[in-house]
Amino acid sequence: MRVLLVADIHANWPALRAVTESHDICLCLGDLVDYALDPTPCIDWVRQHAHFAVRGNHDHGAAQDIRVNGRNGFKYLSGVTRLLTRDRLGADDLRFLANLPVTKVVTIDDVRFLLVHATPRDPLDEYAPAEIEFWTRRLQDVDADVVCVGHTHQPYVLEVGGKLVINPGSIGQPRDGDPRASYAVIENRRVEFKRVEYPIEETVRSVQDSSLNEHAKMMLTEVFRTGRTLQRTDNHRKSDNGSTATVKRTQDSLPV
């Protein structure tokens, strides 16, 4: 079986539309919505193509109308785009997101897969770095051969205690410095990470044409064009000579 593994679509229809990989089974690891502004066709695609899918934290937040009041970075963008996400989704789409399971166990070719958006301990929110020590603790008592996760927007594969951990990266909002859509293909117990170019400016145009404020538009445009985490401007700080300097640092990569 040729398995297509996708995650973190984030309403980026031009990116998802560009994925034309042949496959026998498609597994979706959640976060269909927020950030980009085309949630409906993305949900329709998952309905039609994903044989199994789990709920991400953004799917949960949109379905349950959870408001995010972040002032900086991705938490801020999550909050301002959440309002548009809900405006653009009908009751059936919101119900679909709400009914997605938070975990799913699937057996394919005698291989037992655990699907979860974040981690087995915290399926929706925990950030899981590509670290053997971290995953050794998280995989205790997990009855699966392969654990498929998303949430970090960074692709990786680890072998931990005889189990395989696979993160395919993000279709709609990569944060590893490569703006191309990221996904994985699993075949004959081998994992191949793939990237595909898509019309980024089409996604940017949908943001620019929206009712979002100019600051949010600028931030989202930067993320889509660069595939990097955001630069955050801290409070002004006095330098040694008494002048005022603006200090910038990279926004923490912890997804929200």
Residue 234 predicted with pLDDT over 50? no
Mean pLDDT of 14-42: 98
Distance of CA 244 to the CA centre of its chain: 37
- Say what the pLDDT of residue 91 is: 97
Residue 20 neighbours by CB distance under 10 Å = 6
Task: Say how far apart CA 142 and CA 21 lie, in whole Å.
Answer: 30
Q: What is the pLDDT of residues 140-155, one digit of tens each?
A: 999 999 999 999 999 9
- Nearest-CA neighbor of 108 among 187, 48, 45? 187
Distances (CA, A) of 44 to 88, 161, 168, 170: 13, 37, 21, 18
Average pLDDT, the chain: 91
Domains of the chain: 2-196 (3.60.21.10)
Q: What is the dihedral of CA 211, 215, 216, 219, to 10 degrees?
A: 140
What predicted TM-score, i.e. pTM, was given to this entire model?
0.90
- Say what the pLDDT of residue 256 is: 58
Task: Say how far apart CA 12 and CA 35 lie, in whole Å.
Answer: 8
- In this predicted model, which residue has the larger pLDDT, 60 or 188? 60
- Nearest-CA neighbor of 137 among 120, 150, 152? 120
Task: Say how far apart CA 220 and CA 202 lie, in whole Å.
Answer: 13
CB 134 within 8 A of CB 150: no
Q: What is the pLDDT of residues 84-140, one digit of tens each?
A: 999 999 999 999 999 999 999 999 999 999 999 999 999 999 999 999 999 999 999
* Strand, coil or helix: 83: helix
- Say what the pLDDT of residue 69 is: 87
- For 10, residues 6+ apart whose C-beta sits below 8 A from its C-beta are 31, 32, 33, 34, 35, 36, 58, 170, 171, 172, 173
Residue 112 neighbours by CB distance under 10 Å = 15
Q: What is the pLDDT of residues 240-249, one digit of tens each?
A: 334 333 333 3
Residue 236 predicted with pLDDT over 50? no
b or e along 92-107 (b: 16 or more beta carbons within 10 Å of the residue's beta carbon)? ebbebbeebebebebe
Mean pLDDT of 210-216: 97
Q: What is the pLDDT of residues 50-96, one digit of tens each?
A: 999 999 999 999 999 999 988 889 999 999 999 999 999 999 999 99
Task: Say how far apart CA 187 and CA 162 lie, in whole Å.
Answer: 18
First vs last C-alpha separation in the chain: 33
- Say what the pLDDT of residue 70 is: 85
